[in-house]
Structure 1
Amino acid sequence: MKILIVAPHADDEVLGCGGTIKKRASKGDEIRVCFVTQAYEPEWTAAYIKNKEKEITRACFVLGVAEKYFLGFPAAKLDSIPKKDLNFKIKEIIKNFVPKAIYIPHRDDLHFDHRLVYEACLVATRPIGKCSVEEIYTYETLSETEWGMGSFRANVFEDISDTLKYKIKAMKAYKSELMTYPHPRSLRAIKALAEKRASESGFKFAESFELLKCYRK
């Protein structure tokens, strides 16, 4: 099965569905990640940008990501980009990759980059023409979803009891993003959320998603 993960920023893919990525990749699914934005000068140094590229490579290797896409839009400035440009870029990736499932950020995440990517993904996956996408999920991103409007409704739970350790390892690769507890973007908080979702689903550790749409053929 082909699965596309759309990440507004590098590390969103790990925070939102790192355990699921590793699990599905280990079962033979082809997982690709689309990184929508990236750091840019002079807001970030050249050294920071180069290091971020290395972090992405390491994290994706840990999770078994087959291929990466970089759209190159400026981080925290997506509102300066025409929506049609963002829509087109994501639609082209879907057209060429032909994924059956897509995981996207939640509509009420605090960061506006996340909300704009959510909207663009819905436009790109409209069930018209030859769109391949049959399942659309939103994931919860620590430090974004819980700080937003609180409308995330978990209705799909993925058992990541065997892959949480890989999610943790992948997040460790993002040293520039990792914080100390009680910040939600910390290793302890990641494990705590996995335990919370597990307590709601009967697993040891779990990731949760909101299934938006499912087209059965």
Structure 2
Amino acid sequence: MSPEEGQRLASADRREQILAAASVVFGERGYAGGTTDAIAQQAGVSQAYVVRMFGGKEKLFRASAQRAAAKVSEAFRGAIATFDEGDDTHDKTLKLAVAYTELVADRGILLTLLHLFSLGHDESFGPLARSCFLDTYEIVRAEAGLSPEEASAFFARGMLTTTLLAMRMPDAADNPTAAELMQCTFGETTTDLIALSQGQHPLNSSGL
């Protein structure tokens, strides 16, 4: 590997490190509450380095949101790659749902996407939110082969999954009603999701 190739690799790794940190900070605090200083501290780099690489908070949030959406697309395509010839709609949507549920157990990705969608009114972020969502829909339609009605039902269940995880419903696993709802929604991934969610903690506001 040449020095130039090594430098590019290191730069790509550093970029991913900062975007992962941005996902945590923007996820917990939203676009308005997140700062480049908090993201720099989360990533373990200087604020100047973050600004130099991304050019400010707006571009950093955009890149973080695009990263989150890309991970959903990647997860769906990974699930589609496991489709068998005999899979029916139930089999396909189950594989897609498991892939999505496991991905958004990462609270940063989950909440960054929700913050992006909540900015649909914004002149800058609104078009991005719609584009990211429609790109994902197109994967489910064109690549997974679901009909418009099947895709709509799948996304409706996905939004329930997203809402339950966003409000940390697994924290209420001891409540019989919550347990019943999660079992119906998450199925075989319920136990793993409870363990993952309970292991995640919000940012330490005193430290950031």
Report the TM-score, using the length of structure 1 for normalisation: 0.30
Structure showing the higher helix proportion among its residues: 2
Greater relative contact order, per chain length (Cα 8 Å cut-off, separation 6+)? 1
User: In terms of Rg, which structure is larger?
Assistant: 2
Structure ranking higher in strand proportion: 1
TM-score by length of 2: 0.31
